[in-house]
Amino acid sequence: MCGIFAVLGLQHRGPDWSGVYQHEGNFLAQQRLAVVSPLSGDQPLFNEDRTVVVVANGEIYNHKKIRKQFTGKHVFTTGSDCEVIIPLYEAYGENFVDMLDGVFAFVLYDTRNNTYMAARDAIGVNPLYIGWGGDGSVWFASEMKALNEDCVRFEIFPPGHLYSSAATGFHRWYNPAWFLEQVPATPYDPLVLRAAFEKAVVKRLMTDVPFGVLLSGGLDSSLVASVTKRHLVETEAAKKFGTELHSFVVGLEGSPDLKAAREVADYLGTIHHEFHFTVQDGIDAIEEVIYHDETYDVTTIRASTPMFLMARKIKSLGVKMVLSGEGSDELLGGYLYFHFAPNKEEFHKETCRKVKALHQYDCLRANKATSAWGLEVRVPFLDKEFIDVAMGMDPEWKMYDKSLGRIEKWVMRKAFDDEEHPYLPKHILYRQKEQFSDGVGYSWIDGLKAFTEQQVTDEMMNNAAKLYPYNTPVNKEAYYYRMIFERLYPQDSARETVPWGPSIACSTPAAIEWVEQWKASNDPSGRFISSHDAAATDHAAAGAHGNGNGVAAVANGHGPANGAVNGGKVAVANGHGAANGNEVAVAIAV
């Protein structure tokens, strides 16, 4: 081993403390955002004789339980939840990571035998990268911008893995039953699902700083807010900061989220903060967003930009931590394209693929767009125990079934449909899914398309494959983001960290095979699946999207699509006309 260099947290991610450790040719550094034990948890963290050192970016929700386990066996010197990593390592060696309940990215260095290990949480909520220097050194960092100029090669540190210098490589520590993608058979129990989610939310109220909830007014964020409000009085946080809950939303004037969020906030009695932005505000922020997100994925950038703008305003109010609703759609098949899963086997496999990829999409967005301003986001849907329950049920219960009155995420809606002690109003509980970038205002996406149309010429698009042979942009919006990314991160390793492939409504490439006509679309927005009320009726009828002149704007062809496909259940419009089918119409636009 030539040495390690670990940087967990860059200055924007952790403005509260800078800590550096050096031993021979090994360096560990951490920038701290103090949320738990802000007065005593500065890093690096050490064992009693300072022979074991840790830098960590994480929240360990079961740290008090672990501390009790080591009473009389280990002397804790801080109140940091991450300090429990050290006695666990000393007691169990490297085989302790699964004992941590939380999200984390950490590097541990043992000076006694000159070995080190690094690990990342199960789903990849917290970012981590690994790189290799030309001298044989191994580097770790929360963001690749700390590696891109010094490493000859770097890549995403895979979620659910640990890296050991002693074992010379990666080892998967997270091995849930669902990872093999075998279809489970456990019956749906709404009370079990509800209890698991409430537990996941409550444990994330572990904080020593002011906090709030992100509230778009959709099902996921509304349930997070409702459960938080209901149980806040029972927590230690309530003793410190009171029982008033702050909620936050961002959107264009008149956007769907603003209206829905206000209604939920009024129902729950939160102190609600509504932030507005303009399309120009978003366009002006795109380069900063790409710098912080470290991606050129279109959907991620679309959704990150409003979140980035909102995070700055939230932090200015003195709030350091918020709860959010990421992960539900992946676990429960909540995206609208799941309506067209051909059977429960394909449905379940797609949820598995989506959860495995979260670290490159929604987890990346939620973490990096907010950490840019020193704001921490916690995601209760991605709690390990809740994941086990959600992914362990028979997927038949999750599937869209009009005849049974089941819409997307019906299992979650039913679990919280409590007549005696309602969590939410019925119409909110059963509100249809919006993608975040759509919910903040449909004209946000239209504005981006119009802007990038002016910035990228047809000639540039014709030469896209020559200039960008790897993950070639398929439209002008993607091309524009790629130009900025390549200027900031020109290394081969950087562009290879970004996932690519066809998508409709956030699907994986594999799910595109479910409906033949989806293959023609090059826009990932969910509103172009016309089972989405706003897209199929009000908005598309206004002729505001893509190149369409009628009810549905689509990828190719010029005539209306009439009749039925797939047994009379799906009709797809391939042209500038209406889609007419017996049950569900699918409209694909570019």
Is residue 224 a part of any domain in this protein? yes
Is residue 545 a part of any domain in this protein? no
The pLDDT score that the predictor gives to residue 208 is: 83
Beta bridge partners of 271: 246
**Pair (29, 168) in one structural domain:** yes
- Calculate mean pLDDT across residues 247-275: 95
Of the chain, the percentage scoring pLDDT greater than 90 comes to: 72
Tokens of 549: 């002149």
The pLDDT score that the predictor gives to residue 438 is: 62
**Pair (220, 162) in one structural domain:** no
Q: Which residues contact 316 (CB under 8 A, 6 or more apart)?
A: none
- Consecutive H or E run containing 191: helix 190-203
**Pair (32, 62) in one structural domain:** yes
Exposed/middle/buried for residue 405 (C-beta within 10 Å: 0-12, 13-18, 19+): exposed
Is residue 464 a part of any domain in this protein? no
Do residues 299 and 506 make contact, with C-beta atoms less than 8 angstroms apart?
yes
Is residue 292 a part of any domain in this protein? yes
Give pLDDT tens digits for 194-223: 999 999 999 999 988 889 999 999 999 999
**Pair (151, 240) in one structural domain:** no
- Calculate mean pLDDT across residues 428-456: 82
CA distance 195 to 415: 9
* Active-site residue, selected from the candidate residues 2, 82, 151, 352: 2
| CATH classification at residue 164 | 3.60.20.10
Is residue 496 a part of any domain in this protein? no
Q: How confident is the model at residue 40 (pLDDT cuts 50, 70, 90)?
A: low
Q: How confident is the model at residue 583 (pLDDT cuts 50, 70, 90)?
A: very low
Give pLDDT tens digits for 326-377: 999 999 999 999 999 999 999 999 999 999 999 999 999 999 999 999 999 9
CA distance 259 to 243: 24
Domain final position from 447, 468, 492:
447
Mean pLDDT of the chain: 86
- Calculate mean pLDDT across residues 218-236: 96
Do residues 261 and 418 make contact, with C-beta atoms less than 8 angstroms apart?
no
Do residues 312 and 373 make contact, with C-beta atoms less than 8 angstroms apart?
yes
Q: How confident is the model at residue 504 (pLDDT cuts 50, 70, 90)?
A: confident
Domain final position from 447, 464, 482:
447
Q: Which residues contact 74 (CB under 8 A, 6 or more apart)?
A: 47, 48, 86, 87, 90
Do residues 496 and 485 make contact, with C-beta atoms less than 8 angstroms apart?
no
**Pair (203, 322) in one structural domain:** yes
> How many domains does the chain contain in total?
2
Count other C-beta atoms under 10 Å from residue 65's C-beta.
12
Tokens of 56: 């960590």
**Pair (210, 105) in one structural domain:** no
Q: Is 363 a catalytic residue?
A: no
**Pair (171, 199) in one structural domain:** no
Domain of 412 in residue numbering reads as 185-447
Q: Would you say residue 536 has pLDDT above 80? A: no
**Pair (200, 334) in one structural domain:** yes
Is residue 385 a part of any domain in this protein? yes
| CATH classification at residue 202 | 3.40.50.620
Q: Would you say residue 83 has pLDDT above 50? A: yes
Q: Which amino acid is at 158?
A: P
Is residue 554 a part of any domain in this protein? no
Burial 180-200 (b: 16+ CB within 10 A, else e): eeebeeeebebeebbebbbbb
**Pair (244, 374) in one structural domain:** yes
Least confident of 183-197, 254-268, 538-552: 538-552
- Consecutive H or E run containing 31: strand 26-32
The pLDDT score that the predictor gives to residue 130 is: 97
Tokens of 464: 């896209």
CA distance 72 to 178: 38
**Pair (393, 313) in one structural domain:** yes
**Pair (144, 193) in one structural domain:** no
Is residue 515 a part of any domain in this protein? no
Of the chain, the percentage scoring pLDDT greater than 70 comes to: 83
Domain final position from 428, 447, 466:
447
Give pLDDT tens digits for 17-35: 677 888 888 999 877 666 6
**Pair (51, 162) in one structural domain:** yes
Q: How confident is the model at residue 11 (pLDDT cuts 50, 70, 90)?
A: low
Contacts 24+ apart (CB under 8 A), 72-75: 74/47, 74/48, 75/48
